[in-house]
Structure 1
C-alpha cells in the first residue's frame, strides 16, 4: 500500500528544495518561514528541508552546521539557543522549528533530511503525530533509522528515502543486473533521492529507474533547476524533481514552460 505522503498528488512530484526563494526576494534565506510560504503560494505540495538541533534541544529547519553562509556568524548551530537563532533569522525570513513548520503548513508534505545524530530521535518524536505527511531521510542510514524508530515509538510511521549505503547497494545491484539484490537493497524504503551524476558518474539511468519501479520505489533527482533538464528527466521517467525553482518546475509540469 502506498504511504499517504505520496497520495497528496500524482507523480511526477515537485519538491521545493529548502522552500522557495524568488530572485526578487532580497534578504530572504532558504529554509525559513518566508521561503516555505513562497513555495506554498506557488502551488508546491511537497517541500524539502533539513533538521538541526539547537543548544537548548529544539529541532529547527536549517541546512548548514554553522551560521557563516546564512548570517556571517562563525558559530555552530548546535552552540546557539533557539531565541538567539530566532533573533538572527528574524530579518532573513524567519526561523522555524520543526513543530512550528508542521503546524503552520498543515497541507504541505515534508521531506526532512536529518543532518546530525543528535537531532535524529527528537525529529522522530516531533513528526510522529504527522507521519502521514512526512518522509524522513538522511545521508546516514543509521540516523534515518534512529529517527524512524523514534517516530514509531510515538505511534507514527513516516515514509523514508534510503541513505548513502542503501543507494550504493542499489547501484551495485543494478550494475550486476541482479533483480534479487536490487529488491533486497530497496526493501524498507519508499524512495531513492539521488543526484543525476556524482563525481562525473551517471547515477540516474533507465536501469535504475526500472529496478526501483519494479520494487514500488520512487526516484527523486536533486537539485534540478534548469527547465530543459527538468523536461529531459521527466521524459526518462523520474518520479520527482528536487529543485530550488519549484515555480519553474510546476510550470514545466503544467506545460506552461
Structure 2
C-alpha cells in the first residue's frame, strides 16, 4: 500500500477516491474530515490543499493532522532538554517541530545540509545549527523519521531517545537506545471499542494525525487545517485542547523523564 502512495502513476486514482469521500461526507452534513495517514502527503495533494482549492464552497472542514502531530512530538521531548539532533526530510510536521523548539530556545542540530538550508530559507535562524561532526553527537534526544539511515543511528550516544516525527516508525537498530512511539496519544477512558489505531501502536493508542480531526470537531473550529502553510503558534492551543478532551500523552521511560 505504501508503495502505491509513493508511485506517481497512482496519485490521480488515489486522489479521486479521497475527493469522492470528501464530497459524499459534505453532502451528508459531516462537519470535519481527517485525512489520516498517507492521504495527507505533500506530493499527493499538498497536505489536502488540492481539495479545498478545487471545492472552495465545501462546508466540511478538512484536517491533515500535522499540527496535532507536531504538538505531540514537541511535548514528547523530556523537560529540561536544551539541545536535540534533527535527522530527516523537512515535512510539514518536522518544520513545525523545529520552528517551535527554536522559539523555545532549544538548540537544534541538523544533520543534513539540504534541510538546514531549507530551514534557514524559511526564516528559522536562531538556535539552528548545521552539524559539522562525523563522530558521535552529544545530544541524547534525536528527532527522526522512518527513513533514518543506519550510519546516522550508529552515531547516537548510548541511552539516546529517538522520537519519530514521521507517520511510520524507524527501524530499531540500537539495543542501547530507546525508541519512542510515532506521534500518538492514549484515547479518552470513556471511549469504547478501541483496539489499536495502527498495527505498530499499542491498545487504545491513536495516531496524532487522526486525533487532530477529532479535536478540531470537538472544539467546533470553523477553518480548514490543511495545506502547505502552517500556523506554528497553534501547537500549544491544539495540545491543550487534546488534553482537555482527555487524550493522554504516552509516557517516556523513567530514565528520560
Q: Give the TM-score of the pair, scaled to structure 2.
A: 0.31
Higher RCO (C-alpha 8 Å, min separation 6) = 2
Q: Give the TM-score of the pair, scaled to structure 1.
A: 0.31
Greater helix fraction, Structure 1 or Structure 2: 1
